[in-house]
A and B are shown apart, each in its own frame.
Chain A
Amino acid sequence: MGEIEVRGISASPGIGMGKVFRLEQKRLVIPEEEIPEEQVEQEIGRFLEGRRKAFEQLAGIHARAVENLSGEEAEVFEGHLEILMDEDLEEEIKERIGGYRFSAEKALGEVFEENAREMEELENPYMRERAADLRDIGRRLLYAVAGEELVSLDSLEEEVIVIAEDLTPSDTAQMDKKRILGFATERGGLTSHVTIMAKSLEIPAVVGAGELLSHCRDNQIAVLDGTAGSVVFDPREETRSACGEKISLLKKEREFLDRLRDLPAETLDGHRVELCANIGSERELEGVLSHGAEGIGLFRTEFLYMDKGRLPTEEEQFAVYRKVAESLGGKGIIIRTLDIGGDKDVPGLGLQKEENPFLGWRAVRMCLDLPEMFALQLRAILRASHYGKLRIMYPMVISLSEIRRLNALLGKAKDDLRAAGVPFDEDIEVGIMIETPAAALTAHILIREVDFFSIGTNDLTQYTLAVDRGNERIADLYQPLHPAVLQLIHRVILASHEEGKWTGMCGELAGDERAAPLLLGMGLDEFSMSAGSIPRIKDIIRRSSRADLRELAVRVLNAGESREILEILKAYRSESLSPGTQGQNDLI
């Protein structure tokens, strides 16, 4: 018999191989007939008795969740208990039994389903998801009333791969994490409960795979690849050995990353740089710390403006900035002020469609025209600066006068807070993002007005080469390693050092394994990237010497075209990198 592969959505990375455990509930037959009047009392009694049993089960799950999950996740089950015992639900169910002569099962099934549907109609997606909680509670009650057991994952005897139609919150809370190698569900998507749980428990998972249960049997061998989003039943010998290799490689990699986490990003000859993370919302904070970031080099604030259908208040912004400031301890966080306009719509601003959005009314141009809106953001950042190490960064600057006007607004915001006696960091540093050729070419002038630079390579490349990065027909022309772009980057770094200040980079190039040695050789002080890239870049830096990298930078800056530059960088990586201090060269 050949292997069967089923593909779904990659919900949580990693790979597992083991026996299949099908999580399938027994189908219940709901008594549809009208009940005779004399049976009403008895049906209500069955409902109440079932509810008592369901309450005991849920209380047990809650106790287990308190032990195994975070306090917050456990509290959700307190909410479940509260809903199970809800008086209105009880009345609605009794009404259907007594008034419509429904069986207890039919009555409660309808009541829970109706309420879940109502919840699904809400605008807030978070609340809509809660309909799943309600159905979960309803199902537990239904089985309890019918006197049937719900199959659960709490007493697995060996390590398994769980295959299910869907997993409910109570299924995942009961799961014995150590015995689960991975799971795959027929339903679910990237924002559903299973996906969130799988990620937080770090269990490989595939969701939304369509038909699964009909393809497998209990105890059959399966390979589940959460990274690729596939499940293979009855894998061939080659599939099994490939999977075994991947598992051991992942294990090695994890050990390697763990060892690197707390080590500095320092070259063999003792030159240290800072590796930071870019984040786009406070939800990404966890990954920042777990990958060993030394700070946040770019905190995008656009999500605050785009998610809500209206502009955020000062308080809302303050709460988010403060949370970020506090969770990073004393580590630096660069908050980029609103960088929006043209191509991104913000409800509440009434933006008009522009012919050339990337060359239009965006970022600081808009903020300078809307000083009152901008003042709210500045005040929120300043107030939060009392709770951690925040820095402010203005995007899309092209001239000295812009910086002066922006700083004047910042000065005004500080005066207001001072007058009101609100504490903030008086020494908060201010920088600009360098993403236009204009700013790069006048860096030596602009640096006098600010404390630092951070280079945004995505826009700098697009503006320097006049290449729209979204246009596929000219995708080959979009080349951050073009000599013109590199000359500008070098110029910016030197200009900041002349004044005893520093330059970071928060564009994609900073996390590019080919480019990192070059950028360090050119003198870049801070590299900010998606958190997951940090360990690899750190590894490369720790295996290089600054003297070699300076020489590498000179050679690259004298090269005539991108292709030549790529070859030099490739040769450096394959020939000149020292064997890993970690003894893990095979990983890069």
Chain B
Amino acid sequence: MISREIEIVNETGLHTRPGNQFVKLAKTFESEITVRKGDREFSGKSLLKLMKIGISLGDRILITCSGEDEETALDELCRFVAALTE
């Protein structure tokens, strides 16, 4: 199981569209993926959860991946979040 903390850099955060892309990407991995913001943790494969937690600009989230492809999963998800621009 590996984790990494990352800051949200785009203005509107993980709203519907980038959120959906994140979830789509997460679903391509075998690993179990969770996202933690503050003291709340939830599945990184549910867009609804992602939206309900309200991940916005400047938030730091902890992404945790656990499974056979955990390293690729974590790298790719972090890269995706870091590259968001809108």
Contacts and interface: CB of A to CB of B under 8 A. Distances in A.
B57 interface: yes
A546 to B, nearest CB: 44
Given A308-B57, A316-B57, A78 B20 contact: yes
Contacts of B56: 123-124, 126-127
Contacts of A86: 46-48
Contact of B20 (A79, A89, A122, A313): A79
B15 A130 contact: yes
Nearest to B21: A75
B44 interface: no
A512 interface: no
A88 B46 contact: yes
Contacts of A133: 16
Interface in A32-50: none
A428 interface: no
Nearest to A80: B16
Interface stretch (B6-14, B28-36, B60-68, B69-77): B6-14
A323 interface: yes
Contacts of A124: 13, 54, 56
Nearest to A92: B48
B16 A76 contact: yes
Nearest to A319: B85
A305 to B, nearest CB: 13
Contacts of A118: 52
B16, B54, B57: residue with the most chain A Cβ atoms closer than 10 Å: B16
B20 A75 contact: yes
Contacts of A78: 17, 20
B58 A82 contact: no
A115 interface: yes
Interface string A69-80: 000100110111
Contacts of A176: none
A119 B52 contact: yes
A158 interface: no
Contact of A82 (B9, B23, B57): B23
A115 B50 CA distance: 12
Contact of A126 (B12, B43, B48, B58): B12
B16 A130 contact: yes
Contacts of A316: 9, 11, 57
B7 to A, nearest CB: 8
B13 A127 contact: yes
Interface string A285-308: 000000000000000000000001
Interface in A75-101: 75-76, 78-80, 82-83, 86-89
Contacts of B16: 76, 79-80, 130, 133
Contacts of A87: 46
Given A86-B46, A323-B85, A308 B58 contact: yes
Question: Chain A at the B interface: mostly helix, strand, loop or mixed?
Answer: helix
B11 to A, nearest CB: 8
Contacts of B51: 83, 119, 127, 130, 134
A468 to B, nearest CB: 34
Interface residues of A, number: 31
A89 B52 CA distance: 12
A82 B23 CA distance: 9
A269 interface: no
A127 B53 CA distance: 9
Nearest to B59: A124
Nearest to B49: A88
Contact of A319 (B10, B15, B47, B52): B10
B13 A82 contact: no
A315 interface: yes
Contacts of A353: none
A126 B47 CA distance: 16
Contact of A310 (B13, B49, B58): B58
Given A123-B56, A319-B10, A83 B48 contact: yes
A80 B15 CA distance: 12
Given A124-B13, A127-B13, A119 B85 contact: no
A353 to B, nearest CB: 26
A316 B58 CA distance: 9
A319 B11 CA distance: 10
B58 A315 contact: no
A127 B58 contact: no
A119 to B, nearest CB: 6
Interface in A315-353: 315-316, 319-320, 323
Interface in A469-497: none
Nearest to B56: A124
Nearest to A123: B54
A77 to B, nearest CB: 9
28 contacts: A75-B17, A75-B21, A78-B20, A79-B20, A82-B20, A82-B23, A82-B24, A82-B47, A88-B48, A89-B48, A119-B51, A119-B54, A122-B52, A123-B56, A124-B13, A124-B56, A126-B56, A127-B51, A127-B54, A127-B56, A130-B51, A134-B51, A308-B58, A310-B58, A313-B9, A316-B57, A319-B10, A320-B11
Q: Which 6 A-B pairs have the closest CB atoms?
A: A122-B54, A79-B20, A79-B16, A124-B56, A127-B54, A86-B48
Interface of A: 72, 75-76, 78-80, 82-83, 86-89, 115, 118-119, 122-124, 126-127, 130, 133-134, 308, 310, 313, 315-316, 319-320, 323
Given A80-B16, A123-B54, A127-B15, 4 more contacts: A76-B17, A308-B57, A316-B57, A319-B10
Interface of B: 9-13, 15-17, 19-21, 23-24, 43, 46-49, 51-52, 54, 56-58, 85
